[in-house]
Amino acid sequence: MSLKVLLVEDDRELRQTLQGALQVEGYDVTVSGSVADAMAVLRHSSQASPAESFDILILDLGLPDGDGSTLLHWARQHYALPILIISARHDEWNKVGLLDAGADDYLVKPFSISELLARIRVALRHRGTTAVAPITHYKDGEIEIHLQRHEVLLQGQAVKLTPTEFKLLARLVRSTGQVVTHRQLLLDVWGDEFVEHTHYLRVYMAQLRNKLEDNPTEPKRLLTEPGVGYRLRESI
């Protein structure tokens, strides 16, 4: 059975383009152009059989009857489905707030369809992290990480990490492929009194890269999302 996508976007041209592209990829796409309509569609689908409920929500921020963030907060309270934000560039800081509020990932307009498909695949993989066992293992080329065994291997050799470095890496592994905001990382690794201490992240990320990247200046796995956070690249 094909995966169900709810696409909320008010621009008709872009909506049709994306709908067509997603259908070509085999998704079952429902479109909506406003906050109120999207809420009704979500409510209706969840009341029907579980098979009818959506697998992912793709959400534009600027909607005619309200901000997309209203819908995000509402959907986060009622549903466990992954939410992907698509926004214009001037929403840069708004976007960070939405990620902190529970959005799974974001794309800045204009974007290519291949980027969108990649983000959808990652978001679906993390779908229902409560139901599915969380990701505890990462392998990409020469690097292998076992969270349960507290083990990081580079070319088969164990890499020694400090407890903080390991916690930071573990947080990124659990969200492999997704951006994790500065705030989320600081909160989960250091605690809530450290959410403003972005410089801790800079220092510890540099240490992690020195230990795990061939060339720390041009990281291949521990990627920077300037102004937003970090992303551990999906293994290919």
Partner 1 sequence: MLKLSKHRWLAWLIWALAWGLMFALDETISLGSMALLLVLASAVAALWSSAWASLFSSVLSVVLFNVLFVPPKFTFHVHFLHDYFLLITMLGVSVVVSSLMWRLRRAAELEHLHATQSEQLRSLSDQLRENQDLNAHAQLLEGLMAVWGYPQARVLWDTHVTQHAQAFSLSVRGKAQQFGVVQLGAQTQPIDHLEPQASHAHMQALCDLLGLELERQQAIRSAKLANEEAQSQKLRNTLLTAIAHDYRTPLANLMGAASVIHDQGSRLPATRVGELSHTILDEAQQLNRMTNNTLQLARLDASALDVRKDWESLQELVGSVIHKSKQRFVGAQFHIDMSPHLPLLHCDAILVVQLLENLIENAVKYSPAATRIDIQVTQPLADQVRVCVRDQGPGIPDAWKERVFDAFARVDTSPLAFESHGDHTARRGVGLGLAVCRAIARVHDAKIWIEDAPQGGTAVCVAFPVRHQPEVADVMMGDTA
Compute the least distance from the CB of residue 74 to partner 1, in Å: 27
Stretch that binds partner 1, among 48-56, 64-72, 163-171, 172-180 (CB under 8 A): 163-171
DSSP letters spanning 105-150? EEEESS--HHHHHHHHHHHHHTTTTTTSPPP-EEEETTEEEETTTT
Q: Does 114 bind partner 1 (CB under 8 A)?
A: no
Burial degree of 185 (CB within 10 A; 0-12, 13-18, 19+) = buried
Rounded to whole angstroms, the Cα distance separating 67 from 54 reads: 21
Q: Does 203 bind partner 1 (CB under 8 A)?
A: yes
Compute the least distance from the CB of residue 164 to partner 1, in Å: 5
Name the residue nearer to partner 1 (CB basis): 130 or 217.
217
Q: Does 17 bind partner 1 (CB under 8 A)?
A: no
Sheet of 105-108, strands arranged across: 28-32, 4-8, 56-60, 83-87, 105-108
Name the residue nearer to partner 1 (CB basis): 75 or 232.
232
Compute the CA torsion angle 164, 126, 209, 192 (nearest 10 deg).
Answer: -30
Q: Does 162 bind partner 1 (CB under 8 A)?
A: yes
Q: Does 89 bind partner 1 (CB under 8 A)?
A: yes
Compute the least distance from the CB of residue 56 to partner 1, in Å: 25
Site for partner 1, rule CB under 8 A: 89-90, 92-93, 110, 112, 160-165, 182, 190, 194, 197-200, 202-203, 205-206, 216-219, 223-227
